Structure 1
Amino acid sequence: MDLPTAWNLDDKSYLSVDSSRLRLNYEGLGENNEDVGAIRANHPIPPHCKLFYFEVTIINEGKRWDDDSWGYHGDDGFFGFSGTGIPYGPLFSTGDIIGCCLNFKNNTVFYTKNGINLGIAFRNLKGTLYPCVGLGSQGGSIEVNFGSRKFKFAANLR
């Protein structure tokens, strides 16, 4: 089974992808929930790999962060949906590197910020899972590292 290595050009909305298929720019207006950009990786994460980690560098946070998403939010540090989730980690912004580790040995997920483990975000992983991101802020731009470069998070992930 193949590992995720780049963004899937056929599975995206309101985003442009550079020639490396790793850097994204938000192309929507960022004015409502209907024009939020999203993309997922070219392959699902194979559970037999036991641990899967990737990092996203926030190149530009854009004009505003959208709080109507599910995941680790940069604008309020919550993990959940519509800003109504539970407090999870610190805010993040331009220049920060956010990592995500899926641990299929104990079915948990944790995030990192600039190489620091923020603790378990949720448990009970199941189903077919893909790395994905969502952007909804004019000027927003990120770049993903699926392992082609050294990670900011230095722990032994093997």
Structure 2
Amino acid sequence: MNVERVGDVVYSDYRRIIGVEEEEVPTHLNTNDTGPYLVVSADNLFVKYIGRGRSDYDVGSLQANCPAPIKKLLYYFEMYVENKGRRGKVSIGFTDQQFNKHRQPGWETHTFGYHGDDGKVFHDSGHGMRFGPTYTTGDTVGAGINKASQDVFFTKNGKFIGSITRDYEGVLFPTVGLHSPDEGVVVNFGQQEFVFNIQQLTQDLFQ
């Protein structure tokens, strides 16, 4: 039997890794529960915070329209910070289906979040860990799941920042969080070319 190969990898395995097999993937933000703090553009990719951000429950978070695909060994999306607002409390990460959308990703159980105001990563706790640089207006940050290494990783302006262990096996939704007046972000689920070279990271899985 003639088996097509990509490098030293059987083509069927290659298709599984890059996610060519048919599976629903996130394409936009889920606006079924935006709450009182957010307004979303008609294409469901831009979101702005209009609340006051006075308490830890004045957060406006939105998940993608579906979870990150489970058949892909590697999944990734990005967020462009159009406006950091008054305090730059924007965040990116992954959350489970029961996530409270008035909280930041990372603060609740089975959630992961990289926060712009302090550069900390949060996981299952309101107490963050030192992780990477802060980010602000004009920056592009990304979040990904690498099932090969069982971790969640983050990027900033095309550079890999770091990763934390993924210790939750359930489905996870790409999520963004906003928490101070005038914050605005644009989410890219792959409609546009990513700033980070995700293709290179995909190729590295074969080595």
Matches within 5 A, 1:115-130: 115-130=158-173
What's the C-alpha RMSD, in Å, of the aligned pairs? 1.8
1:79 equivalent among 108, 121, 138: 121
**CA displacement at 1:47 relative to structure 2:** 1.4
2:72 is aligned with 1:29:
no
Per mean C-alpha deviation after superposition, the further-off stretch among 147-156 and 54-63 is 147-156
* Greater mean deviation of Cα atoms: 97-106 or 129-138: 97-106
Write out aligned runs for 1:96-115 (5 A). 96-115=139-158
2:32 is matched by which residue type in structure 1?
D
Q: Could you state the TM-score of these two structures normalised by the residue count of structure 1?
A: 0.91
1:57 counterpart (37, 59, 80): 80
- For residues 69 and 41 of structure 2, the distance between their equivalents in structure 1, rounded to whole angstroms, comes to 26
SS at 2:169 equivalent: coil
Which stretches of structure 1, 4 residues or more, deviate above 6 A after TM superposition?
none
Aligned match of 1:134: 177
Q: What SS is found at the alignment partner of 2:71?
A: helix
Structure 2 residues not aligned, in runs of 5+: 1-22, 91-102, 107-112, 203-207
Q: Which amino acid aligns with 1:72?
A: Y
Instruction: State the secondary structure of the residue aligned to 2:149.
Output: coil
Aligned match for 1:11, one of 33, 42, 47: 33
Deviation at 1:122, TM superposition (A): 3.0
Q: In the alignment, is the contact (CA less than 8 A) between 2:78 and 2:189 conserved in 1?
A: yes
Whether the 8 Å contact between 2:88 and 2:136 is mirrored in structure 1 is no
Moved more, 9-18 or 40-49: 9-18
Aligned-residue identity in percent: 39
**Is the CA contact (8 Å cut-off) linking 1:88 and 1:121 kept in structure 2?**
no
Whole-angstrom distance in 1 between the partners of 2:59 and 2:162: 28
TM-superposition CA deviations, 1:89-145 (whole Å, max 9, x none): 101011000011111222211100000001213333421100011101100000000
The size of the alignment, in residue pairs, is: 157
Instruction: Give the equivalent residue in structure 2 for 1:90.
Output: 133
